[in-house]
Structure 1
């Protein structure tokens, strides 16, 4: 007896790149992740690139989970 196939449930995913030397246009890794999120059928909720500052990182993530 086989198990029934699990139903696909798309989720919201955000991509955060932390870099002091790149711009959003140069962020190939972040773009790759964003492309894979949508290709897999999920929703790209947000994509940001910020500098390596713990307070900015916390602020962005806090905003995402609030």
Structure 2
């Protein structure tokens, strides 16, 4: 499947089927992140049930600590 993630076309394995899978793939599943799919912000409790389709536009914003 190909998704546009943060403006970049990325080929993903077939195992990525929903938002939760996507965050796990990018090792962001244990981090605070905001995910938007096709201009809709997804609630964290909906990550497992929000399926992804070829060509979806996804924005992922995650926080990085530092000082």
Report if TM-score (shorter chain) is over 0.5: no
Q: Which structure has the highest strand share of the two?
A: 2
Q: Which structure has the highest helix share of the two?
A: 1
Larger radius of gyration: 1
**TM-score, normalised via structure 2 length:** 0.24
